Amino acid sequence: MDEQNKVQDAPQEEQPQKAQEMATDSQDQPTQGDVGELIAESKKYRQRSQKAEAELVKLQKQVDHSRQKQMEEQNQWQQLAEERGAKIAELEPIVVSAKEQEDAMRAELLKDFDEEDRVTFSDLSLPKLKVVRDKLFNNSSKVAVDNSSPSSNGGYSSALEFVLNDPKGYEKSKKTNTFGKFGNIFSPNRGDS
């Protein structure tokens, strides 16, 4: 009851001011539900805008098409030919550039082939030519080759491992091995037999 008396006792000018402050405070901070509604509304406007732009492009194409048809019906071939000539002149440098790039790519792909294969594969499309070249020249499954000199242990890390894993190979190796410049100095018969 005390607050009601204060509100009634306060001057009339302050009351609308307090109400206005309270209203702006609640408006400045949107609630969670309001944010979701605002996002949904924004998406709706964006979709509407995109739809309108797509319709505009479609209508412009229809207008151009109908205009060309009308000109054809009215036998205005001269103006149509001039418009198409201008469009061709505008697109011609782009086509020339694309052809040059395609020829350069084709030459780059064909340089790995010998002369006979160049003639054979020159009529393939670029994607097919690239696949053929990659299959012929880019063998990713390379065989691992050990180019190191063979050891006296038959490829094993020690003579003991050689004897245990391949006794026949060890005997054969022992018979054919000349043991280099000094012979087998550790052997009791010293390879003199």
In a domain, 55, yes or no: yes
Q: Give the C-alpha separation, 178 to 174, whole Å.
A: 8
Tokens representing 114 are 């010998």
What amino acid is encoded at 38 in this protein? Answer: L
pLDDT score recorded for residue 187: 62
Asked if residue 129 belongs to a domain, the reply is yes
Model-wide pTM > 0.95: no
Report how far residue 178's alpha carbon sits from residue 190's, in angstroms, rounded to the nearest whole number. 11
Residue 76: CB atoms within 10 Å: 13
Kindly state whether residue 15 falls inside one of the protein's structural domains. Answer: no
Residue 56 lies in a domain: yes
78, 86 Cβ separation under 8 angstroms: no
Q: What is the pLDDT of residues 25-46, one digit of tens each?
A: 555 555 666 888 888 888 888 8
CB 128, CB 120: distance < 8 Å: no
Q: Does residue 102 lie within any of the structural domains? A: yes
Residue-wise burial string across 19-52, b where 16 or more C-beta atoms lie within 10 A, e elsewhere? eeeeeeeeeeeeeeeeeeeeeeeeeeeeeeeeee
Residue at token pair 């020339």: 96
**Residue type at 19?**
A
Q: Which stretches of 111-166 are DSSP H helices?
A: 115-121, 126-137, 159-165
Distance in angstroms (rounded) separating the CA atoms of residues 150 and 19: 99
Give domain status of residue 77, yes or no.
yes
Domains contained in the chain, number: 1
In which residue are the tokens 């082939």 written?
Answer: 113
Q: Would 62 be classed as within a structural domain?
A: yes
Torsion over CA: 65, 71, 74, 76 (sign): negative
Instruction: Give the whole-angstrom CA distance, residue 192 versus residue 187.
Output: 10
What residues make up the domain containing 118? 47-136
**Residue 121: inside a domain:** yes
pLDDT tens, 100-129? 999 899 888 888 888 888 888 888 888 988
Alpha-carbon span 110 to 99, nearest angstrom: 16
| Residue-by-residue pLDDT tens, the chain, 193 positions | 454 554 455 455 555 555 555 555 555 555 666 888 888 888 888 899 899 999 999 999 999 888 888 877 777 778 888 888 999 999 999 999 999 999 899 888 888 888 888 888 888 888 988 888 888 887 655 666 666 666 667 677 777 887 788 888 878 877 765 555 455 556 655 444 4
